[in-house]
Amino acid sequence: MSAVVTPFPGGPSRATQVGFERAELARILDLYGRMVAAGHWKDYAIDLGRDAAIFSAFRRTAERPEFRIEKRPALRQRQGMWALVGEHGAVLKRGADLGPVLAPVERKLLKLVED
């Protein structure tokens, strides 16, 4: 009896999927954990697609996300591949590095702690 291996449909196209690197995801999840500890965020979602990898943070699970952190490598040479998108779809910050793009959310966390 010989084993027959059938390739998974769409297998080679998976290489074109955009994802987060370990250090990027660690930085994002660190911020998420601090926002959860402050009682501000309750849930998250990760969407990995052909054009972008998106991390969405929710105040409650049944809402639209308060913030989306988007990684779009195609924009690397133009506006920067990282974007912070607000609840209503407006781009709040865009840049080549993740740290400065997350800065507005981290400032919000500092304000939450001070109150």
pLDDT of 107 reads 85
Tens digits of per-residue pLDDT, 88-101? 889 999 999 999 99
Dist CA 11 CA 8 (whole Å)? 5
The torsion region of residue 10 among left (phi > 0), alpha (psi -120 to 50) and beta comes to left
Task: Enter the pTM of the model.
Answer: 0.79
Residue 72's CB is within 10 A of a number of other CB atoms, namely 19
Tens digits of per-residue pLDDT, 12-27? 555 578 899 999 999 9
